[in-house]
Structure 1
């Protein structure tokens, strides 16, 4: 290299090579910039009926989780419901208003303790960092259940034998990987007992495009270009989207036929580019005898339940989630009381699907 070229390479400032929803910028020298503001500019809708606070669950990486509980709970002990946020493994936070508002609704409607953990984000921390952090958030709950001096804010109301793990998009991917890692009965978490998983539009990938990815609209909320960008920034260095943490059915992925799993509910929007991956996931696991159900909301985009939480589909999804905290007879009463017309038409028989959910989460 000439002296002039060498000088130019030193003085040329880094330039932007990737950008994610205005809150993450990645530069040519590998540096990043993150906004202190969320990408969803919505007000926080807390009204005092739900109490919340933050806890550091991993001091090594300075990771926090946000706890929620009803101010006047309906039961002496409440189920525990994890909600792991989405964001393509690159953006998002427990503190973003859209996440907080959804957790308010979960805690209120489910009458549950809701735990919303953060995790390390890419590209600064590529996979498997986020999966490891999801597991650490579960081990924190176990430590509370076993502690001689636990936090009474949590332990006075939490039923550690009734835990559910839910994740949205990238959070759904984390929830899946936790289900595989923990296995049926979650023995490594005793006395914490996971009863089931809710995967909301799980963020799976693969080197071969699905039909919904290839033919989905370019102006979708989560379009193919953005999907590719998220994977480009989060896939382990030197790997592809057939990595086992990304593609459950990739050429080197663990054979899930041989894994015992707790019940899983998969929820997708009919207009979500990730729809086909979620549907294939549910169909394959069901064919292998796993306790899994699939619900598709016709015409709904990725993340419809947090983007428009007051929509009829979002309310229907909240109703389905609410079934986890009711006796079986009451669940059937609730299901019959809310006629199927409240749920948008889909290719699935929703009555059959939601009755299956009753069996799963009884």
Structure 2
């Protein structure tokens, strides 16, 4: 093999390859595939005709063309009263996936039908093209769009969506998400509740936060991370790679975007009464198990209303992997109890 001629630049080479979907090259460019068709969930998946739910795609941020998928149950019981609104952010380590992925679509269909609730499943900009805080800022934009929908008709004007006007209970809005979406949910709640956080929601009321196996990190490995088998694909090697791609250039996993208790994070004592009740779901076979348990313990010690539900024998992302399995059935019952009890 011949070497590059003197004075000529070497061809860019791959420095990070994330599951074949995202490649970061040495010159900073990115190759990305959005064909997630091979990521089929396990077992049965509900079709659009299996459940009494209608859905449509909506642009919530015109400048960047950011979209969300709105799900509205159509059953008789759902039409009798206003419904809680669940703003849901998907997982994928801030680097991958979309609300269009079959497993996320299936999960949103079930949540809308079986809670029941209006579910807004939102996309956001992905890293490494758009490193954090891009995803967190996009979550704020989604809530700003929803806030405009809740404004009086004279203020909202043509922006009002008829599904929301007819069915949404804006006093019962929940932020939710799995993995990276759980991390986003934490930051939405913090930005809303901290002084100077910048996320004012009135006339919306943030009634609760549902965090499914939130994607947190830190430089010091926890016992559950250290003990996790290295040959498992959904493990620490992949998580570390995604943090390298998602965090600001040069940042470590002790950046506040990854570690909610790192230096520079908003102190718990600064989270006021607007910090909503939390439901945190923790699969005990998740390498992030210890981080999630510690997160809940610290919030409880600070006097915050937090419920931890541990799913024994389950791993990271089990709802997305098998949205119609027994564990998913139990998960929906847990979320329903939280949403309707908040």
User: TM-score by structure 2 length?
Assistant: 0.89
Q: Distance in 2 between matches of 1:199 and 1:119?
A: 17
CA contact (8 A) 2:16 2:25 kept: yes
Q: Which structure features the higher share of helix residues?
A: 1
Q: Residues 256-295 of structure 1: matches in 2 within 5 Å?
A: 256-260=268-272, 261-295=275-309
Q: Deviations over 1:97-125 (max 9, x none)?
A: 11111000000111110001111100000
CA contact (8 A) 2:284 2:312 kept: yes
Q: Deviations over 1:15-64 (max 9, x none)?
A: 22222233222222222122231151356722162111111111111111
Q: How many residues align?
A: 323
- Is structure 2 residue 80 aligned with structure 1 residue 82? no
Q: Deviations over 1:45-96 (max 9, x none)?
A: 2216211111111111111111000123243311101111010000010111
User: 1:207 is matched with which residue: 216, 219, 227?
Assistant: 219
CA contact (8 A) 1:221 1:302 kept: no
Change (3 A) 1:325 1:296: closer
Q: Distance in 1 between matches of 2:313 and 2:327?
A: 10
Q: Deviations over 1:287-345 (max 9, x none)?
A: 1111011111112110111211222222111101112454xxxxxxxxxxxxxxxxxxx
How far residue 176 of structure 1 moved from its aligned partner, in angstroms, is 0.2
- Is structure 2 residue 144 aligned with structure 1 residue 139? yes
Q: Residues 42-53 of structure 1: matches in 2 within 5 Å?
A: 42=41, 45-47=47-49, 49-53=52-56
CA contact (8 A) 1:221 1:301 kept: no
SS of match in other structure, 1:318: helix
Q: Distance in 2 between matches of 1:325 and 1:244?
A: 28
Unaligned segments of structure 1, at least 5 residues: 327-357
Q: Distance in 1 between matches of 2:74 and 2:20?
A: 36
- Is structure 2 residue 315 aligned with structure 1 residue 317? no
Change (3 A) 1:50 1:221: farther
SS of match in other structure, 2:211: strand
Q: Distance in 2 between matches of 1:49 and 1:70?
A: 6
Q: Distance in 2 between matches of 1:187 and 1:216?
A: 37
- Is structure 2 residue 107 aligned with structure 1 residue 115? no
CA contact (8 A) 1:162 1:193 kept: yes
How far residue 167 of structure 1 moved from its aligned partner, in angstroms, is 1.0
Change (3 A) 1:109 1:57: same
Q: Distance in 1 between matches of 2:80 and 2:336?
A: 14
User: 1:158 is matched with which residue: 143, 149, 168?
Assistant: 168
User: 2:19 is matched with which residue: 21, 36, 55?
Assistant: 21
- Is structure 2 residue 207 aligned with structure 1 residue 195? yes
CA contact (8 A) 1:80 1:112 kept: yes
Match of 2:32 in 1: 34
Q: Deviations over 1:269-295 (max 9, x none)?
A: 111001111110000100111101111
How far residue 208 of structure 1 moved from its aligned partner, in angstroms, is 0.9
Match of 1:59 in 2: 62
User: TM-score by structure 1 length?
Assistant: 0.85
How far residue 266 of structure 1 moved from its aligned partner, in angstroms, is 0.8
CA contact (8 A) 1:44 1:100 kept: no
Match of 1:169 in 2: 179
SS of match in other structure, 1:102: helix
How far residue 265 of structure 1 moved from its aligned partner, in angstroms, is 1.0
How far residue 187 of structure 1 moved from its aligned partner, in angstroms, is 8.0
Q: Deviations over 1:178-199 (max 9, x none)?
A: 1001118x98111111100011
Match of 1:352 in 2: none
Change (3 A) 1:325 1:123: closer
SS of match in other structure, 2:204: coil
